[in-house]
Amino acid sequence: MLSIQQLTSRALLLATVASAVPSVTVTAQPKASQTASQPQKMSENPLLQPYRTPHGTVPFNLIKNDHYLPALKEAIAQGKKEIDAIAGNTAKPTFENTIVALERAGEAVNKVTSVMFNLNSSETTPELQGIVREASPLLTEYSNDISLNEKLFARVKAVYEQRDKLKLDATDKMLLEKSYKGFARNGANLSEADKVKLREINKEMSQLSLKFGENVLNETNQFEMLITDEKELDGLPEFAREAARGAAKQKGKEGWLFTLQAPSYLPFMQYANNRELRKKLYLAYNSRGFQKNDNNNEQIIQRLVQLRYDRAKLLGYKTHADYMLEDRMAGSRDKVQQFLDEMLGYSKPVAEKQLADLTTYAKSQGFKAETLENWDFSYYAEKLKKERYSLDDEMLKPYFKLENVLDGIFTIANKLYGVTFKENKDIPVYNPEVRAFEVYDENGKFLAVFYGDYFPRAGKRAGAWMNGIRSQKIVNGEEVRPHVVNVCNFTRPTETKPSLLTFNEVTTLFHEFGHGLHGMLTKGKYSSLSGTSVAWDFVELPSQVMENWAYEPEALRLFAKHFQTGETIPQELIDKIRASQNFLAGIANVRQVKLGMIDMYWHSQQPTGESVADVEKKVDQKTALLPVPAGVATSPAFSHIFAGGYSSGYYSYKWSEVLDADAFEAFKEKGIFNKEVADKFRRNVLEKGGTEKPMELYKKFRGREPSPQAMLKRSGLVL
């Protein structure tokens, strides 16, 4: 997953950034002024000073919670002065004194928020949550003051109307186009009365999105299932038992503690013989935000959907989906719906056959009921997979020590793109578990700083994502190189074993690293067009294509070494990994389509006040394969679309799958480490950011538009 911060225009959409980063609250939120003393002097605030650290990295060791709000207020004041200077410039509007000046404005705001939001998602505290709540309306107001500034827009418009007469290169033309459209899409052409309405809508949306994320993560963190009778662990492999015992010990409890964090939840659902406990865990996970308590997200969803629709209508669009899809590859909600329907048409017949086979297998193992339930699916799927392929996580995990996988992915990046990674322990980090690396090109030139943060913590939201701490750009002829972070929630080391990853965690690591490469290898002039600042349905291409190397024997042999013996993973296991790659892929595809359809149902029509249950029931009529139990729903914990930036965009995962499968075919045709193909992908995709239209970039790499056949074939949906 990509952080919303990577995909928004820094100057015009700070309100969206502020609203989009999920967070976790464990107690009621006091105001920051009640919890933090203010620094006596601004000159003592590290967020406002030049960073005197290796490569200008963030001095996390010096930053305290009481630095954020004073720094942000000072930065906003400075940003407003910069905007006023552009808007009030009496000289004729030019590309340099208006468009480039606007691009450079607000650097101090970006500097503060990039740190604050990164920590709010990966190392939050109740105090920091309160600070972010107080900061959010300030950022919304600041963003609105820019996008609704008539004098500023008049200058931007004047330059835009002269665009055909200006001698601009392709990157400058794209910046001009995006700058103008950014204003138009954010209300610059509205009447004064409508501008007031838009300000209120933006402010409320930012607050609701924050609250949504807090509620989901409250429930994730609050649920615990403590087992004291070892018989109830029957079926669980040793790695899951050891992790659960360690979790209990950490909380000062006897027994085995299971939570809703993925490294705890998933193995229990896959292996535990106790069906009632699997059901208990499943219902807890899938009712997050849907229970009648303070964390309920149903009303937040209703209000967010209405506000998004109201904003779209105010700006001249039929629906929120029309607004969001205007500048994406898909282009329209009809195109997205057609794509999802087509994918469902390929996937569902395959999925139904796979489910029938799984049900028959379950009955052969003593399953008594007529139909599998959702809490049975992973359990019997894991058993069938082991029987069919003689493969399970317990067999694979010893070969995927986290440190070895990291070394392997660095080696793969070196073989493809000539880059090297060198750990630097002098770079400050925000948690002792975080590792920081310097990245160099094949000539020894510094490229980036890469942070890796891999284990679950109480202050970290669930999932995996890439975030940017500093963007790449060129200022006054000097290049500023990027700082990026990969944040994941992988299996922790235990008292007796290092962190040993499941294969799913391995592919997740490759995925997020693909986003990281997109951020680290970028080359451009403007931060708003660099790295992952691309069309939403193009941004998952670099991440998803990277997953392919995790399945390739030539790549696996570089890093898949037994953590005790050092033995390279045997070919027999590699063959099983590849043979099982499409195991129940039809079912997995239907689930992804379902999520995309839920997203589009909420956002591609006028809200009617339908309940969460009613909306999902309508989508389930098309997509459900198993009975949907009462009391569960997807939407109330669907942080991608309600607390992140994927509203009207979740389809992009499937869309990008078409791109990545087609792109990887180019590597397979000439060799997965072929330098010619890698250089072409780097030059036309990884380095280009959002400087050109994504389809044009793809065609420059591939020589043609993508074909869906590679994805359908790879997924086993067609022969």
Query: Could you list the active site residues?
Result: 512
CA distances from 201 to 189, 239, 410, 476 (A): 16, 48, 44, 38
Q: What share of the chain is helix, strand, coil (3-state, %, to 5)?
A: 60, 5, 35
In the chain, the amino acid numbered 312 is A
DSSP string, 600-638: HHHHSS------HHHHHHHHHHHH--S---TT--SGGG-
Number of residues assigned to the chain: 719
Pair type for strands 483-487 and 446-453: parallel
| Token pair recorded at residue 473 | 């750009």
Amino acid identity at 550: A
**Residue 2 per-residue DSSP state:** B
> Is residue 278 within 8 Å of residue 375, measured between CB atoms?
yes
Q: What residues are paired with 257 via a beta bridge?
A: 226
Output the CA angle 12-18-22, nearest 5 degrees. Answer: 140
How many helices (H) does the chain have, and how many strands (E)? 29, 9
Give φ, ψ of 487 to 5 degrees: -120, 125
Angle at 416 between CA 423 and CA 649, to 5 degrees: 90
Query: Residue for token digits 């939120």?
Result: 29
Beta strands 225-227 and 256-258, pairing class: antiparallel
* E runs forming strands in 247-391: 256-258
Task: Report how far residue 170's alpha carbon sits from residue 590's, in angstroms, rounded to the nearest whole number.
Answer: 40
Tokens linked to 667: 């590597």
CA angle centred on 544, ends 388 and 339, rounded to 5°? 90
φ, ψ (nearest 5 deg) of residue 451: -105, 140
Q: How far apart are CA 648 and CA 150, in angstroms?
A: 29
Are 599 and 537 contacting, i.e. CB atoms less than 8 angstroms apart? no
The CA angle 571-575-577, to the nearest 5 degrees, is 115
Rounded to an integer, what distance in angstroms lies between the CA atom of residue 113 and that of residue 126?
A: 18
